[in-house]
Amino acid sequence: MHGATARESIALPLFPLKTVLFPGGLLPLKVFEQRYVTMSKACLKDDASFGVCLLTKGEEVQRSAVTRDVSFAPIGTRARITDWDMPQLGILHIRARGLTRFQVRSHSIADDGLVIGQVTDIAAEPSVALPEAFKPLAKFLEILIERVGKQNFPDDLALSDASWVGYRLAEILPLPLSIKQSMLEINDPEVRLSTLAQFLKKQGLL
């Protein structure tokens, strides 16, 4: 969304998880709870997105009919299912890709336990060329991609884009989830890269 529409609050089904999804990132999920199977089928049918937020309190798997004792980060990322399989009845294997970020203004819980957020989209970061000072980060990321496997990353590698490099490093590095969340919430790609560079230097990796 752009302009005035970016401020409109719209309903979005949320999937609170103990992970942080970044724009452009890939997220494989095994979906077996009925509320999320139903949500996933609806997203596939309508080519719609759902929201991924970092779960900060509670469990990913529902223990009772309706679980209300959950908390999640207010900034999340829209996800669109790009591939799916149903190896057995009632279990969906999906692969989703991160789109734009959003902010949760409020939320409610449906009868089946699905969290519905009223969200406003956050404008995508402008495409900025990777500054010369951060070229070593791109080289380090390239090595990591080779080691982890290119199939775990988007086909369109953008190693010269500051946001893309920062997002991919933030998702792949062994950072605490709270730090990953802060990397998602940063709105300046150079600030994100600078923070990641400091971490890598402290670890003796850069």
Report how far residue 199's alpha carbon sits from residue 27's, in angstroms, rounded to the nearest whole number.
24
**Residue 127 belongs to some domain of the structure:** no
Report how far residue 104's alpha carbon sits from residue 74's, in angstroms, rounded to the nearest whole number.
5
Q: Hey, which bits of 24-172 come out as E strands? A: 26-31, 50-57, 71-72, 75-88, 91-109, 115-121
Neighbour-count burial of 95, counting CB atoms closer than 10 A to its CB (0-12 exposed, 13-18 middle, 19+ buried): middle
Question: Residue 141 sits in a domain of what CATH number?
Answer: 1.10.4060.10
Both 55 and 146 in one domain: the answer is no
**Residue 104 belongs to some domain of the structure:** yes
* Each residue's pLDDT tens digit, 159-189: 999 999 999 999 999 899 999 999 999 999 9
Q: What is the mean pLDDT of residues 128-154?
A: 90
Q: Residue 67's closest CA among 118, 33, 104?
A: 33
- The range of the structural domain enclosing residue 197 comes to 132-202
The helix (run of H) or strand (run of E) holding residue 188 is none
* Each residue's pLDDT tens digit, 17-69: 999 999 999 999 999 998 999 999 999 999 999 999 999 986 666 655 455 56
Contact 81, 52 (CB under 8 A): no
Total number of domains in the chain = 2
Both 181 and 84 in one domain: the answer is no
Question: Residue 76 sits in a domain of what CATH number?
Answer: 2.30.130.40
Q: Which of 79, 94, 121 is the last residue of a domain?
A: 121
Both 13 and 104 in one domain: the answer is yes
